[in-house]
Amino acid sequence: MSKDFNVPPVIFPSGGNPSTGTTQNRRLPTAPFQPSRSSSSNPNAIPFMSFDIGSAAASSSTSFSAPQFGSANSIGVIGGGMGFDDEPPLLEELGINTRQIYTKTVSILNPLRVNANLHEDADLSGPFLFLMAFGLFQLLAGKLHFGIILGWVTMAALFLYVVFNMLAGRNGNLDLYRCVSLIGYCMLPIVVLSAVALFLPQGGVAIYIAAGVFVVWSTRVCTRLLVELASCGDEHRGLIAYACFLIYTLFSLLVVF
* Domain membership of residue 223 as a residue range: 98-256
In a domain, 105, yes or no: yes
How many distinct structural domains can be found in the chain?
1
Do residues 125 and 194 touch, judged by C-beta distance below 8 A? no
Is residue 106 included in any domain, yes or no? yes
The predicted-structure confidence for 3-37, as pLDDT tens digits, reads as follows 665 666 666 555 545 454 444 455 555 555 555 55
Secondary structure of 165-220 as H, E, C letters: HHHHHHHCCCCHHHHHHHHHHCCHHHHHHHHHHHHCCCCCHHHHHHHHHHHHHHHH
Whether residue 100 is predicted with pLDDT greater than 80 in this model: the reply is yes
pLDDT, tens digit (0-9, with 9 covering 90-100), for 137-196? 999 999 999 999 999 999 999 999 998 888 887 777 888 999 999 999 999 999 999 999
- Whether residue 130 is contained in a domain is answered as yes
